[in-house]
Amino acid sequence: MVFCQKDSVGETPPLAQKHLFEVLDSSGSAGAHSKLILMLGGDSIALNKSGYSLQGWNETYYKSGKLLHSGYYIDGKLLTYKNYFENGQCESTFENTDPRRCLMKEYFDNGQIRKQTNYYSGLAQKQYEYYENGQPKSLEESDKELKYYILKKYWYNNGSLKSNLELQDLKNKKYLEKIYYNNGNVKEEGSVILLSGTKDYVKNGIWYIYDFNGKNKRGEKYNYGIRLSSK
């Protein structure tokens, strides 16, 4: 099976389009197969050895004979798939949950989940990442058009929360953010605002800073990202 760039509408003629690469020689990564997913804006199609668009269930294999990819195709475009590492562990999966939503999961070769992405209308609305030990690493949730964050969280690899940014005022795009030491104590906390027409999230108002033991509290005043005073 080969991928090719789609440059016309309708049935793909045999070997009429430029081959990008052979799946058999690829890493089998989710990134490679995402080029075939129409819901994610993929602009490539998959062809069989005769040069026609793939239909139905198809499989590809490593040179060792181990299964690399199993996917369901319509006119060369992927609807759902499962990819594997050569050791047999699942490398990634993709599925449509409804006409607007789809889900991609990616894994480490030890079987632990590495990343989960929830898409809405082709956009990555919610993304989870994990450390190889299974602990959560990050969570980013955006509005359906990816114009602003609803929630953004990061963790240390020991499972302790590192930072938390949460929308408090939708109309004015105001957030509450807390940043933590790896012992669980708060390091900084205060308000954040999304600057209009940008992707910049800046400190605004009074921010409180603490030492490693959660004591010696002091305040810093900000005006749209500019520090005005400290006491």
Give the Cβ contact number of residue 39 at 10 Å.
18
User: What pLDDT is recorded for position 85?
Assistant: 94
User: What pLDDT is recorded for position 22?
Assistant: 42
73-111 pLDDT tens trace = 999 999 999 999 999 999 999 998 888 999 999 999 999
User: What pLDDT is recorded for position 31?
Assistant: 66
Q: Is 30 helix (H, G, I), strand (E, B) or coil?
A: helix
* DSSP, res 53: B
User: What pLDDT is recorded for position 30?
Assistant: 63
Tell me what the mean pLDDT of segment 1-13 comes to: 41
User: What pLDDT is recorded for position 29?
Assistant: 60
The residues, any chain, with a CB within 8 Å of residue 52's CB and separated by 6 or more, are 11, 12, 14
User: What pLDDT is recorded for position 178?
Assistant: 98
Instruction: Give the C-alpha separation, 84 to 88, whole Å.
Output: 6
* DSSP, res 89: -
Burial class (CB in 10 A: 0-12, 13-18, 19+), 94: buried
134-186 pLDDT tens trace = 999 999 999 999 999 999 999 999 999 999 999 999 999 999 999 999 999 99
User: What pLDDT is recorded for position 180?
Assistant: 97
User: What pLDDT is recorded for position 168?
Assistant: 97
The pLDDT > 70 percentage for the chain reads: 86
| Residue 84 and residue 106 in contact, taking contact as beta carbons nearer than 8 Å | no
Tokens 């500019």 found at: 226
Give the Cβ contact number of residue 114 at 10 Å.
19
Instruction: Give the C-alpha separation, 12 to 47, whole Å.
Output: 8
Mean pLDDT (the chain, rounded): 86
